[in-house]
Amino acid sequence: MIYFDNAATTFPKPKIVYNEMDSFYRENGVNSGRGSYKKAALADDLINETRLLIKKIVGLNEDYKVILNSSATESINLILKGLDWKPGDVICYTPFEHNAVLRTLYYLDEKEQVELVQIPFNRSTLELEKDKFINKIDNRNVKMFVFTQISNVIGNELPLRDIIEIKDRMDALLLVDGAQAAGLTNPPKDGIDYYIFAGHKTLYGPFGIGGFLINKNAVKPEPLLHGGSGSDSELKDMPDHLPTKYEAGSPNILAISGLNAALKWLLEIGVNNIYNHKKALTEKLIKELNEFFDIKLYLPRNLDKHIGIVSVKFSSQSPTEINKILNENYDISVRTGLHCSPEIHKFLGSYPEGLVRFSLGYFNTFDQIEVLKDSLNEFII
């Protein structure tokens, strides 16, 4: 199989991830924070080390604490549902947001009567229309900006520094969805209140582990989950200190051991080396796809701020048909449809049918792109 669906989850994982998960869980699969014996202490050490590795990989400053939970989706729900919203509070979001963000925002719109304002981007260049946006929110009660770092449909890096500048002037909060970026490209070191990461995507870890980094000066949301914390058991409420406030229940030590191994692998390979390899693959993929008159590529104007993901439309066949041909005839795996991000497809004009998405990872090769090109040559008109 040639796998071009790395935006959904990176695959395969580094061998060290499989090996470490197997050996750690067999030899040390005990509960963390629930005992003072040797194996429990080793589990504690693993979790603490993983937090430090995440901070090192993401690159935010020392003002941030790392919260671990099951996924980026849980983190987004925890933060957005845990804040104190008032009717009329404005949340600004981009058209590039994943449904993990969008559906939570729609819930708040209905439940809390907040006002959702979409941040304007140019339809041709996919660049932020900064002046238009500032005028749009002038004298509005903006409480939060929600901003994805890299689109899971287009692969464009969004201008975080511009949004940080605007949100600082308005004294608003900023949530950044780094699911497609953590471990690939760093955000600014400060100015972000909540930074979301997904262990199984560009961090090359397993499913079942994700989380967020929270600035010590950010508003602290109410916990989404309540339960055992391994300490402060006499309290009726969740302990107020971080990270315990947001980590009810037994930690997924198996998934954490895999993420720990993946983070060490990332540091050994070098984040810049991974970025450069993926960038080179992206450039080759664009070059080869551009040779087909039947294929329309959806790309930002500034390709320096683009990596890893190329979504296209075939004029002769539907995305579903293309997926079927590539899968059944050539064993090439891609993702078609709306990619859990309907707003960007409405923005691009590809709704409701969607597009064919090719998303690259570190373990893809230039030869695989050549195979894709040869395969397309066999059936594209």
DSSP 375: H
CATH level 2 (architecture), domain 15-268: 3-Layer(aba) Sandwich (3.40)
pLDDT above 90: residue 39: no
pLDDT of residue 32: 86
Q: What is the pLDDT of residues 290-318, one digit of tens each?
A: 999 999 999 999 999 999 999 999 999 99
Q: What is the pLDDT of residues 220-274, one digit of tens each?
A: 999 999 999 887 888 989 899 999 999 999 999 999 999 999 999 999 999 999 9
CA-nearest of 155, 166, 157, 220 to 187 is 157
Distance (Å, rounded) from C-alpha 214 to C-alpha 193? Answer: 6
User: Looking at the domain 2-11+270-379, which fold is it?
Assistant: Aspartate Aminotransferase, domain 1 (3.90.1150)
Residues with Cβ within 8 Å of residue 142, at least 6 apart in sequence: 90, 91, 92, 117, 167, 170, 172
pLDDT of residue 381: 65
pLDDT of residue 233: 87
Distance (Å, rounded) from C-alpha 166 to C-alpha 169? Answer: 5
What radius of gyration, in Å, describes the C-alpha atoms of the chain? 21
DSSP 188: P
Q: What is the pLDDT of residues 124-141, one digit of tens each?
A: 999 999 999 999 999 899
**β-bridge partners, 298:** 311
CA-nearest of 300, 302, 309 to 281 is 309
Tell me how far CA of residue 266 lies from CA of 13, 58, 237, in angstroms. 11, 11, 38
Distance (Å, rounded) from C-alpha 38 to C-alpha 46? Answer: 12
| Pairing label, strands 309-314, 115-118 | unpaired
pLDDT of residue 261: 98
Q: Where are the domains of the chain?
A: 2-11+270-379, 15-268
pTM here is: 0.96
Phi, psi of 95 (to 5 degrees): -75, -5
pLDDT of residue 181: 98
Single-letter amino acid code for the residue at 268: E
List the alpha helices (DSSP H) in the chain: 15-28, 38-58, 72-82, 99-111, 130-137, 160-170, 253-269, 271-289, 319-330, 342-348, 366-379
H-helix or E-strand spanning residue 339:
none
Q: What is the pLDDT of residues 198-216, one digit of tens each?
A: 999 999 999 999 999 999 9
- Output 281-284 pairs: Cβ under 8 A, ≥24 positions apart: 281/308, 281/360, 281/364, 281/365, 281/366, 281/369, 282/155, 282/306, 282/307, 282/308, 282/309, 282/310, 282/360, 284/366, 284/369
